[in-house]
Amino acid sequence: MNLYDRLRPDTDIEYCDCSQITRILLVYTLSVNPIHCYECKGAIDPERISLSNKRTEKIASWHRVFSSLYDLWMDSGEYENFAKKSLLNKEGEVNTEAVKIAKDLSTEIPTYYWWWHDFDDGDFTECPNCNGVIDQDNKHGVGKCEKCCIVA
């Protein structure tokens, strides 16, 4: 097993077949690979964008925590409220790490973290991280914040 295998799915998923990767989404989609093309939303093999071992480890570590919290929320058991608060907490590790990763990757290719929210709570009207105005001319979600590298 090589390091990239940690972010490769063990099931068939749609991969990005765009000729160039111009922007990336860091998003949890119930698969083992949170790296997706901003344009087509297909998964991107980490080797295709030459992720370093350090970056691959950081993304895999963040993904494990995020998916664990998401699974607790979906379970709708006694941990549902804890998980939801953790997934929404802008000062919590799962979100601060994702923003750091997106900003780090953006030094090479624009990257956006797709911030989780419970659709029962309505749409975001401002950036969930900095509370600033979100650009509503956006391909995904209700908008994006360039400052925070977030799609909401």
100 neighbors 150 (Cβ within 8 angstroms): no
Other beta carbons within 10 Å of 119: 6
Whole-number average pLDDT of the chain: 92
Single pTM value for the model? 0.89
Q: List the one residue out of 134, 113, 112 whose CA is nearest residue 123.
A: 134
CB proximity list for 12: less than 8 A, separation 6 or greater: none
Domain ranges of the chain: 3-151
Q: Express as a percent the part of the chain with pLDDT over 70.
A: 95
E strand or H helix at 144: strand 144-145
Burial class of residue 35 in the structure, from the number of CB atoms within 10 Å of its CB (0-12 exposed, 13-18 middle, 19+ buried): buried
Q: How confident is the model at residue 112 (pLDDT cuts 50, 70, 90)?
A: very high
pLDDT digits (tens, 9 = 90+) for 74-102: 998 899 999 999 999 999 999 999 999 99
Give residue 80's pLDDT: 95
pLDDT digits (tens, 9 = 90+) for 119-138: 889 888 899 999 999 988 77
18 neighbors 39 (Cβ within 8 angstroms): yes
| Mean pLDDT computed over 33-46 | 95
Q: How confident is the model at residue 58 (pLDDT cuts 50, 70, 90)?
A: very high
58 neighbors 30 (Cβ within 8 angstroms): no
pLDDT digits (tens, 9 = 90+) for 1-18: 677 876 765 666 789 999
**Bridge partners (DSSP) listed for residue 145:** 150
pLDDT digits (tens, 9 = 90+) for 63-74: 999 999 999 999
